[in-house]
A and B are shown apart, each in its own frame.
Chain A
Amino acid sequence: MAAHLSYGRVNLNILREAARKELREFLDKCAGSKAIVWDEYLTGPFGLIAQYSLLKEHEVEKMFTLKGGRVPPADVKNIIFFVRPRLELMDIIAENLQPPREFHILFVPRRSLLCEQRLKEQGVLNSFTNIDEYILDLIPYDGDLLSMESESAFRECYLENDQTSLYHTAKGLMTLQALYGTIPQIFGKGECARHVANMMLRMKREFAGSQNQILPVFDTLLLLDRNVDLLTPLATQLTYEGLIDEIYGITNGYVKLPPEKFAQKKPGEGGKDLPTEPKKLQLNSAEELYAEIRDKNFNAVGAALSKKAKIISAAFEERHNAKTVGEIKQFVSQLPHMQAARNSLANHTSIAELIKDITTSEVFFDNLTVEQEFMTGVDTDKVNTYIEDCISRKDPLIKILRLVCMQSVCNNGLKQKVLDHYKREILQTYGYEHILTLNNLEKVGLLKPQTTTRNNYPTIRKTLKLWMEDANEQNPNDISYVYSGYAPLSVRLTQLLARPGWRSIEEVLKMLPGPHFEERQQLPTGLHKKRQQGENRTTLVFFLGGVTYAEIAALRFLSQMEDGGTEYVIATTKLINGTSWIKSLMDRPEPF
């Protein structure tokens, strides 16, 4: 069930239901029993749309992962391949075919002539009864969050100049507009944003005449290039959810945690038989407690948890007050809910303990100190000894890269000498093959030699108030609480767009890469919204190239602000953190 999708300002369940309907229709097209062969990459995203039960209802009896060789034996009539349109996958599919069964292909998110051509070359195109596409661009991830779950989008767009994901983005936004009405205002910043907006406007012309008559749900769309704000993802997120992601990694809404803390303690067993399987938890706003604490600064989570603990135990104490049969009955009826709350509390207490062990460690503290120095502009132009020490100790490479990139971004590029020093240190310590990764980082602008002596980061920082000295972690009054002082640039831009508007920061916008623009989409007459007094505007913020949980937290904070005037729905190509992001940019030549 996905009730939590419909709680937000915009009912995203409509989108999910539309996606499910389409899936069911496709499955019914292949009459009879069926087995699905999955492109492994797709299983996660699909999990957000449909569980196995839905598939089962439509006679899916077996599921396999797509790999070389033949499909394992299964007594089914149909074999359906769910794949991304990738050439290498086509070759594997060709290997898999083994009559006499009916074969079908479902391309996600779009059919590809190129792939069909490949199947033709392999001589198997005619073996398929159905070749179809399942347009799954924007996947509802939570009540206010859509993700395309496209891992490599940033790399493709900014490194390889492959704008396929942008095309899907534009298509996805068209689908969204078909369901939620035309978005009258489009703002954007960055090359990719411009490209997406252009495609959207063109597609709108193409579909002219078939326009839907839906009252627009979104007032504004803001398209933001990730490379407008390269700094934010590099910084360590300090919200609860952000830290879970930084430390354990959240994939498709699930996190895997070390099992020790979650062992059921039973008297007499004394720590034996600790579970070895990692504990898998789903994290979304369906869980009341999680929705409450996910976006808090981690330092405020402890207090929130103990408060909750008191409420729950008080609720359990109620049973002593229940005297009459009616009262007892009422108490019992609430039990399942209370028990769920108690489990949830236990889980999150354990997670918080796990995280606390890390955040209180010296390593974490030192790292954070250096990050904050960089962000406030302290000694960003010299070789940093902490980084040197980390390299000397051969700390994980990604940690080093995050720090070096951060220093480069905060200094608008490093002096050639400094840059070369870091690079040399990294190559000698971690291996020369990383020269390719370093080259990639330079190409996307995360690392760069200083070209002018003028460093405009301090100007940007001051104008946009990116650093707030007195960030209040417990009762925040500014978005900077999500990084304990640093206000994410991307979110600041969003905030300033709503009030007082970008005109006030023209100068800074010019310093950031890519054009900024505004477009208006004509609404059919009669669909102009009449705003009620005090009714909030709804803005869809689309992060092209990924967004972090801390940024989402900051936007949620803005939505909840009284007199904020704007509520935000967030969309992105992928949920990222510094580590997964840098990882996606690394080049690892396979050894021979």
Chain B
Amino acid sequence: MAFVTANWNPLGEAFYRKIELYEMGWNLKDGLRECLVAAAPYGGPIALLKEPQRRSPSVRPQLEIYSSSGVAMASFPWKSGVVKQLGWTVCDDLLCIQEDGTVLIYDLFGNFKRHFSMGNEVGQSQVVEAKVFHSPYGTGVAIVTGASRFTLATNIDDLKLRRLPEVPGLQGAPTCWAVLTQDRQSKVLVATGADLFILDYTACTAVSPPGLSPQATSIVHMCVSFSYKYLALFTDSGHLWMGTANLKQLNVCVTFFFASDRHFIPSYHFSWCRRPKSQQPSVVIMWDGHILVAGECKNTISYHLEGVSILVPELDGVRIINGTHHELLQEVPASCEEIFKIASMAPGALLLEAHKEYEKESQKADEYLREIKEQNLLGEAVKQCVEAAGHELEAETQKTLLRAASFGKCFLSNFPPEPFVSMCRDLRVLNAVRDYTVGIPLTHTQFKQMTVQVLIDRLVYRKLYPLAIEICRYLKTPEYQGVSRVLKHWACCKVQQKEEADEVIARAISLKLGEAAGISYSEIATKAYECGRTELAIKLLEFEPRSGEQVPLLLKMKRSQLALSKAIESGDTDLVYTVVTYLKNEMNRGDFFMTLRNQPVALSLYRQFCKHQEQDTLKDLFNQDDDHQELGNFYVKASYKEKAQIGHLQSAVDEYNKAKNEFAAKATEEEMRLLRFQKKLEEEKGESLVGFSLHDTIRTLLAVGLHKHAEQLYKDFRVPDKRYWWLKLTALAEKEDWEEIEKFAKSKKSPIGYLPFVEICVKHHNKYEAKKYVSRVTPEQKVKAHLAVGDLEGAADAAIERRNDGEISTVLSRCSPSTDRALVERLNRAKATAAKK
């Protein structure tokens, strides 16, 4: 344990440590000399382009891709134009920015994906310098051309090129520049000589950092921190300026003693070295085999370097890569410092000591524990140990710290177990991915920032599927976010294996994915289709449980019939409609109709569509199905919409006949007859009748006194007597044609009886007329009739005569206190006798 602090160096209040991550697995003859190198942050892959300037076709530069531990992943000769800059996207794709402004994108394994251009105007002036940057909006690219113009794309996946305004007085390349992300916008900070400008989409603004030494005649280097919050500037006068990136606040301005006598060569590197909650701002400057850490104080730490190295800024430090080694330089995290600093009395340090003594079975363990407990700091101690474990890269050190934490926990009640448990889990995962064979040297801080999801993605990009699945299972990631996702990627990769037969691949995929939930087979199938394997795609789609998802791809592959049945299977009618409309445009009408005919669900939906949108097509549909009933209905409907009524109705009759619907045919014939009659009468008498029902027609005729015509309709249409009598009675009563009613009543025996006569007269407030018919009412209805005309006595007589209990009660209920007493008594008596009976 004593050697934990061996690689620590003090700088001001804080310590810095340089840890070896890997001895590089690659075998580079000349180290990194004359190489264009790009290493992705978060322990990402490294790309090397050797001698990028070489252009002769016989000796092409070699592009090589390695993991962070130097394990080769791809290598191929570079055949395109001169590359100015390499960079990595957030999805581990390699960007190669060429002199002519073209950007080529390769995947981790050197497969070409696509390319785009940074604008046509770049062509002649050429890219002088380019930078790849990351922001919340994705990966961006910025270039500056020989014509001193900047062009910027914030997100290469949603390419929008922004040509930034000109910088006044700038000719050729600027002395130095950097990309900032501020206020949801990417900006460029440019230095020409001692002048500093901020370029955004619309303007070029001159800025001056507060407190920058006036002796400086030129800003030679600048760098922005990982979080875009801080900026460091280095001047030719040897001043280092560190402040906030908005240039409003100065943190430190240091002058280096060597400033005057050192000449900075261009192959320097300059980077921030901070961590979240850093104790002090500090930057790392590298040149000529030296590396220098500078902070707030006058002192610096300097290291010697072997061979050409590069600096890779990280969230919590800087990685240093050279031809043989890969190291991490960072400020020692607070918890580690507390525990391991010589003679530290921090609770964590004491707990570690206590545990050591406990292992030795020494009673000192108890003393140490007591000391912590007396200060009530045991919880704090455990927390420190757990935290420090997270920051240590050596598995042994991690274990020691975690054991100490676990030991301390035993003496605490109510200490939440989650931080300890999740730290153990995280570390297990981190140690696995830090392994030389995987080569992702993530720190715990980076891992938390990056999230498990992204880590899984990274492993998937590297095709490390088994490890990714193990991690998902181990961390209990919900299946559809974890295992299923990995399997999907695996399958997408699998379908690209051209040497294997469709069946073999389909079977392998279904075997492996069979039990995983929430797999989107349609995505895999889409991939297969994109690789030109339509048959395989169709086979894979069969496994897709979401029928709806299958449809768009099937349509794309021109399997429209299959798409239709899948759409129907999904039950989503909108989807069915979509396919139907597609089919309609794709096929000729005959085939289209035939297809629909075999799919009744689609057919009825299409009918619905036609009913509202295309009436004529509807007719064709019925025709092709020989659906004469519906055709008949169709013509009936049409007859109400268009003027050529009779014609339509005749067509309807024909269709109904073909459909063997005798009733409908006859009824429609009747309708035609009525229509002809109405039209004729309209012409003759000027009575508006068209549109009336038979009933209303007769009624109108009676109302205007055309009794003969009414009579004719009654006979022609064989209107039942009862209904005709009702009809005529009502019509006459409405006219208050009492004379005619009386005549009508006497014309023959009423089929509806005479009660309606009584009631209708009463309804029209003519009791006098009503009374005329009371005597003719059948005995059963007599009481009702008498009551209707208000003749209580008559009603009583009738009821008593019929000795009907119910009727007597009805009459009684109509009696009021003002009614004749004798009558009431008579009724009561009759009721009594009726009841006896």
Contacts and interface: CB of A to CB of B under 8 A. Distances in A.
Contacts of A162: 573, 604-605, 608
A208 B517 contact: yes
Contacts of B581: 114, 117
B480 A209 contact: yes
A433 B604 contact: no
A424 B695 CA distance: 12
Contacts of B545: 202, 205-206, 208
Nearest to B727: A392
B731 to A, nearest CB: 11
Given A170-B571, A202-B545, A209-B517, A428 B694 contact: yes
Nearest to B577: A114
Contacts of A432: 636, 667-668, 670-671, 674, 693
B694 A85 contact: no
Contact of A590 (B636, B641, B717): B641
B532 to A, nearest CB: 27
B778 interface: no
A399 interface: no
A433 B573 contact: no
B479 to A, nearest CB: 5
Interface string A87-116: 110000000000000000000001111100
Contacts of B85: none
B601 A163 contact: yes
Interface stretch (B86-94, B502-510, B718-726): B718-726
B574 A85 contact: yes
Q: Helix, strand, loop or mixed for chain B's interface?
A: helix
A423 to B, nearest CB: 7
A88 B663 contact: no
B166 to A, nearest CB: 33
Contacts of B574: 85, 110-114, 164
Contacts of B671: 427, 432
Contacts of B516: 209
A435 B641 contact: no
Contacts of A439: 629, 633, 664
B715 interface: no
A166 B601 CA distance: 13
Contacts of A420: 663
Interface residues of B, number: 60
Contacts of B670: 427-428, 432
Contacts, number: 142
B667 A87 contact: no
A423 B668 CA distance: 12
A160 B604 contact: yes
Contacts of A195: 571
Interface string B203-233: 0000000000000000000000000000000
A161 B730 contact: no
Contacts of A170: 571
Contacts of A424: 663, 667
B768 interface: no
Given A87-B613, A208-B545, A429 B693 contact: yes
Contacts of B145: none
B571 A429 contact: no
B396 interface: no
A391 interface: yes
Interface residues of A, number: 52
Given A389-B726, A425-B723, A435 B571 contact: no
Interface string A439-470: 10000000000000000000000000000000
A391 B694 CA distance: 13
Interface string B586-629: 00000000000000110011011100110000000000000001
Q: Which of A161, A209, A430, A590 has the most CB of B within 10 A?
A: A209
Given A87-B613, A167-B571, A209 B484 contact: yes
Contacts of B608: 160, 162
A436 interface: yes
A164 B719 CA distance: 44
A531 interface: no
Contact of A113 (B577, B600, B692): B577
B542 to A, nearest CB: 14
B604 A161 contact: yes
B722 A392 contact: yes
Given A208-B518, A393-B730, A591 B693 contact: no
Lowest 4 CB-CB distances: which A-B pairs, in order? Answer: A209-B517, A209-B518, A392-B726, A161-B604
Interface of A: 85, 87-88, 110-114, 117, 160-164, 166-167, 170, 195, 198-199, 202, 205-210, 388-389, 391-394, 420, 423-425, 427-433, 435-436, 439, 587, 589-592
15 contacts: A113-B578, A162-B573, A163-B571, A167-B573, A206-B546, A208-B545, A209-B480, A394-B695, A423-B663, A429-B723, A431-B693, A431-B696, A433-B636, A436-B636, A436-B637
Given A424-B663, A427-B693, 10 more contacts: A160-B608, A161-B601, A164-B573, A209-B484, A392-B722, A423-B663, A428-B723, A432-B636, A592-B640, A592-B642
